Amino acid sequence: MAAGVRKKGAVGVIGAGSWGTTLARVLAGNGFPVQLWCFEEETAGQIRVDRENRNYLPGVRLPATIEPVTVLSKALQQKELLLLAVPSHVFRDILNQILPHLSRIKKGCLWISATKGIENDSLLTMTGILRETLEAVYHPYIGALSGPSFAKEVARELPTAVALGAGTLEAAERAQKMFANSYFRVYTNPDLAGIELGGALKNVIALAAGISDGLGLGHNSRAALITRGLAEISRLGVKLGARPATFFGLAGIGDLVLTCTGDLSRNRTVGLRLGKGEKLNEILSALKTVAEGVKTTRAAYQLALREQLEMPIITQVYGLLYENQNPRRAVRDLMTRDLKAENAEI
């Protein structure tokens, strides 16, 4: 249990995928009663009867203090914290469903996003959508959690460290104490933009790393993609107001390395299958969960164009996903670009 936290108040978790369910388990284990909103009645029924989310987190027992609900308004009433863990492409839609129920939400409630993505149309991060959608009074209480954290490993209570930022230090520290325990260590970081951009953009680089592995290009290529990918993430992040140091922390290089190398990475897996010659639509139709990097690639490419930044890895991944670029030609184009000094672009 997190030291120094009085166990009072309830938590609402919006989204019962693997990550939402895992974080609900973390919070319930820390002594908070949790209402977990499930989009599917089947998922709610499994949790209610069997104490297991077999669709998204099989083999992990969930405590009785997690109550599954399918009526969204029930998960909102009088909560100390609302955790949003839904796919980025439905994030705004879920918020719009929440808006009619704002009067039921407790004053000072923390709104924490655990979604790693960028909205395609607006090119906003998830907290950007929150700030745009909610009234100004909520802004200090809006935050995000990110870092190297596979849901299955956190659910097994393996040691994990993440970063959390919010509109104020007081809000960040409140959330930090609610999440932290003996296996889930939470660091505060005031750079909310860096936390979110690092978490979103690393998924695009993970696709590239997976493609490289699928082509059999070896460890040297993967290391180069991770390193130069970090340069691209930093370049765009700093242009959008993030702090450079964030990209050398948990939400930056930490999450990037994990997602580019770990076998549990959905984005690396999609890239791996693309590199082996499978078609994107066939890969995605077979996935039970969302590989955020596919949609984030489009947003990242548009951000690079808008900010007039050279981001060759992201550009080539975009070409592979959306312009039927040949993977081996993409590698050749990357390797035969004009020569330059290593740090000239950062």
Burial of 336 (0-12, 13-18, 19+ CB in 10 A): exposed
Closest CA to 62 of 107, 16, 94: 16
Q: Measured between alpha carbons, how far is 281 from 296 in angstroms, rounded to an integer?
A: 16
Give me Rg for the CA atoms of the chain: 20
The answer to whether residue 202 is catalytic is yes
Contact yes or no for 8/78 (Cβ under 8 A):
no
Give the number of other CB atoms < 10 A from CB of residue 230.
22
Q: How many CA atoms lie within 13 A of 173 on its CB side?
A: 5
Count of CB atoms within 10 A of residue 248's CB?
A: 14
Q: Which of 106, 202, 288, 340 is catalytic?
A: 202
Backbone angles phi, psi at 302, to 5 degrees: -65, -35
Q: Which residues are catalytic?
A: 202
